[in-house]
Amino acid sequence: MTPEPIFPFRHHGRTGAAVRVALVNLGLNIVTLSFWRFWGRTNVRRLLWGGTSVWDDPVEYTGLGGELFKGFLLVLLVVYLPLLGLYGWAQVLIAAEDPRGGLMLAGLYPLTIFLIAVGGFRARRYQLSRTLWRGIRGGQTGSAVGYALRSMAVWVLVPLTLGWALPWGEMMLARYRLGHTTFGDRTFACDAGVKGLYARMAVMWLCGAVYLTLAVGFAVLLEQWGIEEEAGAFYLAMLALGAVFVLVVPWAWYRAAVFTRLAAGTSFDGHRFTAQVRTWPLIRLVLGNALISLFSLGVLRPWAAQRTFRFTCSVMAVDGVPDFAAIHQSADHGPSTGEGLVSVLDGAGEF
């Protein structure tokens, strides 16, 4: 008999608190010429983590703004400035019509993407190591370099296969991340596969191909017919409106399946997770967050993140209760500095 799913996750953070934190961060970033962003990011995380409870016990974020700032300075001096110098040197060589300039750029672009992937994995490790629940901290094992190499493989294969490697790549990377996620001295397990994803991928891919064909065809016809600007704008508006149904709905249908498969393939202490993700609630979440960020010029992104936390907690369930009393604290305290690579190279946001 299949056990009844338990919904232990709750997010009870208030919208007003998220808006206040966002506005305070905006003001202090202006006053400090954006140097407050490291402490502001920390305050947002404390709000989001602290507004979340699991089995009625709160989650705590213990990271410090100073740790993020030190990570930023370290990467700025050791990685970014040397990279900037190499990019500048390559541009000088290209301007002098020296073929070595093109070869340098051809090597620097993949190197930068590789470093961003390394930084993303290390950033996740930092955040998990600063996440506590019932006094036990999370963590992440595994190799950042190994993860980055896998990410590079996906980055190459997805465009080469016209997108068809995406489900395989997403699941492969997720298995690595989740399979190296720890809570105390216990490790999560993940065997999520691509079952059911390629059928939805096919629908999403065909819708994208049809939409692209129609968009290009309209553009050619407008050019040939010499349509007036007002009529041309009308056709473009119709294409944009059509994108919501032709592209967004299949995309959300696919993403809902990805979320569901990942949850079903993940377990902790022998208990599996489940997720009840539906297409239209996911569309409302994503479009709502996009509009919040767009009309606030990014200022209210903490509110958008809060909506995502609330949504995720509402759909996640577990098929039982792990033996938390048997879990002990991990000896790994995580990195001493945080997220320098993604902050410098990828322009990481507030979270």
Query: For 112-169, how does the pLDDT look when each residue is reduced to its tens digit (9 = 90+)?
Result: 999 999 999 999 999 999 999 999 999 999 999 999 999 999 999 999 999 999 999 9
Place of tokens 């767009």: 294
Report which of 331, 193, 327 is spatially closest to residue 268, judged by C-alpha positions: 327
Task: Please state the pTM of the whole predicted model.
Answer: 0.90
- Report how far residue 66's alpha carbon sits from residue 94's, in angstroms, rounded to the nearest whole number: 40
Looking at residue 245, what DSSP letter applies?
A: I
What pLDDT band is residue 334 in, cutting at 50, 70 and 90? confident
Return left, alpha or beta for 317; rule: phi > 0 is left, psi -120 to 50 is alpha, else beta.
Answer: beta
SS3 category, 54 = strand
Higher-scoring residue by pLDDT: 186, 348: 186
pLDDT of residue 234: 65
Structure tokens at 183: 């809570």
Query: For 220-274, how does the pLDDT look when each residue is reduced to its tens digit (9 = 90+)?
Result: 766 666 655 555 566 666 677 777 778 889 999 999 999 999 999 999 999 999 9
Query: For 286-327, how does the pLDDT look when each residue is reduced to its tens digit (9 = 90+)?
Result: 999 999 999 999 999 999 999 999 999 999 999 999 999 999
Place of tokens 């992440």: 140
CA of 100: how far to CAs of 39, 82, 93, 137, 332, in Å?
Answer: 42, 18, 7, 49, 44
Structure tokens at 11: 């997010």
CA of 167: how far to CAs of 118, 121, 196, 197, 259, in Å?
Answer: 21, 20, 10, 7, 12
Q: Distance between the two ends of the chain, CA-based, in angstroms?
A: 41
What is the H or E stretch that residue 137 is in? Answer: strand 136-140
pLDDT of residue 223: 67
Higher-scoring residue by pLDDT: 319, 218: 319
User: What does the buried/exposed string (b/e) look like for 35-49 if buried means 16 or more CB atoms within 10 Å of the residue's CB?
Assistant: ebbbbbbbbbbbbbb
Place of tokens 């996620």: 181
Report which of 351, 345, 343 is spatially closest to residue 71, judged by C-alpha positions: 343
Q: Which amino acid is at 350?
A: E
- Report how far residue 88's alpha carbon sits from residue 93's, in angstroms, rounded to the nearest whole number: 9
pLDDT of residue 351: 62
SS3 category, 300 = coil
Average pLDDT for 174-203: 95
**At residue 52, does pLDDT exceed 70?**
yes
Average pLDDT for 199-219: 86
Higher-scoring residue by pLDDT: 343, 254: 254
Share of the chain above pLDDT 70, in %: 91
- Determine whether 338 is exposed, middle or buried from the number of CB atoms within 10 Å of its CB (0-12, 13-18, 19+): buried
Average pLDDT for 73-93: 90
Share of the chain above pLDDT 90, in %: 73
